[in-house]
């Protein structure tokens, strides 16, 4: 798949702000600062479609990006940002759960984890939650440029083990800095969308 067209379609904190459900959606989840927005920019080839920042907690809304007028990528706000107030993290949880549990056109959630670190308790919890809702199966290991080729396989093995992945679950190492791994992710996304009956359109 080649992404020829990408644009932000909606910024939402509640259901009434979501765009209409006519297009299939694939969402990106992961802790704050893991690289969700950077990955979106890499996939679309647009440097600043999604806001990237050194300070975590940048994306605090659910951002819907319309891709090729065919489907959407949904950038979810990151979890695990310590400085966010308790009350705020509760409303964060509700915002995400509302989306993940009630969005009928949501196909899959790509879970992002930092390749350098063993998945955190929250990463594991998130993945189990996705599994429970049948949204699991694709993991992106971000910042792959930070480990050597040698370490890469070891890091992926740790991620597989900690998230209790099955053999059919996919882990894709990606680097937004070196611009690698996105082709594989695009291919996986295309397969997901085709399997859902959007084949002739892509």
Ligand X SMILES: Nc1nc2c(ncn2[C@@H]2O[C@H](COP(=O)(O)OP(=O)(O)OP(=O)(O)O)[C@@H](O)[C@H]2O)c(=O)[nH]1
Query: Quick one: which segment of 4-12, 17-25, 30-38, 94-102 binds ligand X (CB under 6 A)?
Result: 30-38
Pairwise CA distance, residues 128 & 173, whole Å = 21
The first and second tokens of residue 89, run together, are 């993290």
37 binds Mg ion (CB under 5 A): yes
C-alpha neighbours within 13 Å on the C-beta side of residue 194: 10
142 binds ligand X (CB under 6 A): yes
**Strand positions, DSSP E, the chain:** 6-12, 24-30, 62-67, 71-75, 106-114, 138-142, 170-173
Q: Say what the alpha-carbon torsion angle 136, 115, 81, 18 is, to the nearest 10 degrees.
A: -40
Query: Quick one: which segment of 52-60, 93-101, 128-136, 148-156 binds ligand X (CB under 6 A)?
Result: 52-60
Least distance between Mg ion and beta carbon 95 (Å): 14
35 binds ligand X (CB under 6 A): yes
Which CB, 53 or 196, lies closer to ligand X? 53
Pairwise CA distance, residues 76 & 61, whole Å = 7
Q: Which of 44, 67, 73, 78 binds ligand X (CB under 6 A)?
A: 78
Which CB, 58 or 184, lies closer to Mg ion? 58
122 binds ligand X (CB under 6 A): no
Strand, coil or helix: what is 173? strand
Select from ligand X, Mg ion, none the partner in contact with residue 119, using the beta carbon and a kind-dependent cut-off of 5 to 8 Å: none
Sites of contact with ligand X (CB under 6 A): 30, 32-38, 52-54, 56-59, 77-78, 142-143, 145-146, 175-177
């Amino acid at each position: 798949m080649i992404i020829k067209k990408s644009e932000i379609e909606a910024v939402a904190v509640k259901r009434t702000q979501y765009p209409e459900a006519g297009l299939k959606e694939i969402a990106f989840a992961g802790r704050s600062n893991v690289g969700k927005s950077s990955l979106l920019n890499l996939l679309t080839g647009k440097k600043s479609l999604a806001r990237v920042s050194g300070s975590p907690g940048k994306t605090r809304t659910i951002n819907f990006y319309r891709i090729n007028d065919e489907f959407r990528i949904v950038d979810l706000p990151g979890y695990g940002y310590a400085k966010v107030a308790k009350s705020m993290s509760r409303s964060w949880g509700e915002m995400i759960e509302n989306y993940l549990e009630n969005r009928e056109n949501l196909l899959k959630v790509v879970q992002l984890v930092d390749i350098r670190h063993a998945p955190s308790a929250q990463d594991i919890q998130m993945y189990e939650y996705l599994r429970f809702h049948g949204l699991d199966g694709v993991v992106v290991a971000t910042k792959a440029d930070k480990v050597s080729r040698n370490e890469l396989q070891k890091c992926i093995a740790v991620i597989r083990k900690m998230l209790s992945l099955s053999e059919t679950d996919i882990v894709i190492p990606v680097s937004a800095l070196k611009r690698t791994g996105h082709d594989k992710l695009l291919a996986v996304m295309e397969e997901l969308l085709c399997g859902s009956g959007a084949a002739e359109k892509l």
